Amino acid sequence: MSTETDIRLRDHVDRLAHEHPPLRIEDVDFTVRDPHTLARRYGHVLDYMARVELEVDRNVLELTTLLPDPPAIDRHFYAEVWQPQEIQHGLILDRLQVELGRPPATTDTDTVSLKLRVLGALAHLEAFQDVCRMLYYLTGMATERSAVLAYNLLHAGVGELGETAIAETVVAPIRRQEPGHYAFYRLSATGLWVRLSAWQRWLVRRMRALSFGPVGVNNPTQLADFGDVMTSLGITPRATEFAEQAVRVERDLLWARRQGMAVPPYALRAFRDALHHAARRAAVQAPARPAR
């Protein structure tokens, strides 16, 4: 990366660490006017978000596997800003769903897939590690942008229910911290992309198309869960728009040469697959109608 980009990244991460310390659960007002309605409408959304946020410890393990020698600014970001903030987001969301009478989230904090271990072994080659770094930044961008969009919708929905304390002391503070993470990934991705050779860019495009998935999805059950989240947040009728907003910068970087592409096909397919899996699961679980 250029010196200018390095300076901007360092200033950005230092500012995040100084101005946005991890949220404190003691500052949250868990007052709920109608626990039953909030749990029925958004309980599974809270569970999904809490799980994703709490699994940040596994994400760090994945990062250290995928990037054996990352830049110092990357280590500074995920160790001093991202991980501490995300853990607190997860703890707060999980506490809320327990307050609503729901069980705490079930998390996986120590499994690193074979695919990532293989990529990590190859990443000891400097040129290939740059490819892995680019994939990491792209995933981070899509994840954080999706999170911002989802928290915006959750904040509006909880507010419409009259749950002001939850909207303003749970969702709003979490939502404020996500754009800073997105900005880090965006700056990092745009800075690295211009340094990649033609074959590295080809490989990034190919691997991204094969590996893209919605945030927090590691198996078919979680894919269906994500589809349910989309439905509960009102994303289903505008899934294409949601996908476009989630991967806009990725589209502009990787696919600029393809004029008129609104959404990379793999991204739109992933969100539609989530809705399909959710609908299929609901059909299987639906009680049988009595014979007439």
Tell me the DSSP string of 129-197.
HHHHHHHHHHHHHHHHHHHHHHHHHHHHHHHHTT-HHHIIIIIHHHHHHHHHHHHHHHHHHHHHHTT--
User: 81 vs 260, 268, 269, CA distance in Å?
Assistant: 37, 30, 32
Q: Which is nearest to 170 in space by CA: 48, 88, 81?
A: 88
* Residues 153-182: tens digit of each pLDDT: 999 999 999 999 999 999 999 999 999 999
Report the predicted TM-score, pTM, of the whole model to 2 decimal places: 0.91
Decide: residue 89, CB within 10 A, 0-12 exposed, 13-18 middle, 19+ buried.
buried
Whether 248 has a pLDDT exceeding 80, the answer reads yes
- For the chain, the residue count is 292
The residue behind tokens 């639906």 is: 286
User: Using alpha carbons only, what angle is made at residue 203 by residues 197 and 207, rounded to the nearest 5 degrees?
Assistant: 150
The residue behind tokens 């009680």 is: 287
Q: Which residue has the higher pLDDT, 224 or 285?
A: 224
| Confidence class for position 48, pLDDT limits 50, 70, 90 | very high
Q: State CA 44 to chain mean position distance.
A: 16
Question: Using an 8 Å Cβ cutoff, are 263 and 240 in contact?
Answer: yes
**Cα dihedral 49, 53, 54, 56 in deg (nearest 10):** 150
Whether 150 has a pLDDT exceeding 70, the answer reads yes
Tokens of 292: 């007439």
The residue behind tokens 């740059």 is: 130
What is the model's pLDDT at position 1?
46
* Residues 210-242: tens digit of each pLDDT: 999 999 999 999 999 999 999 999 999 999 999
User: 252 vs 28, 229, 247, 288, CA distance in Å?
Assistant: 39, 27, 9, 48
Integer Cα distance of 90 and 52 in angstroms: 7
Residues 6+ apart with CB under 8 A from 90: 49, 50, 51, 52, 53, 54, 55, 56, 105
What is the model's pLDDT at position 230?
96
Integer Cα distance of 22 and 218 in angstroms: 27
Residues 6+ apart with CB under 8 A from 265: 209
Domains of the chain: 3-285 (1.10.620.20)
Q: Which residue has the higher pLDDT, 256 or 151?
A: 151
User: 75 vs 63, 216, 265, CA distance in Å?
Assistant: 10, 22, 32
Task: Report DSSP state, residue 236.
Answer: G
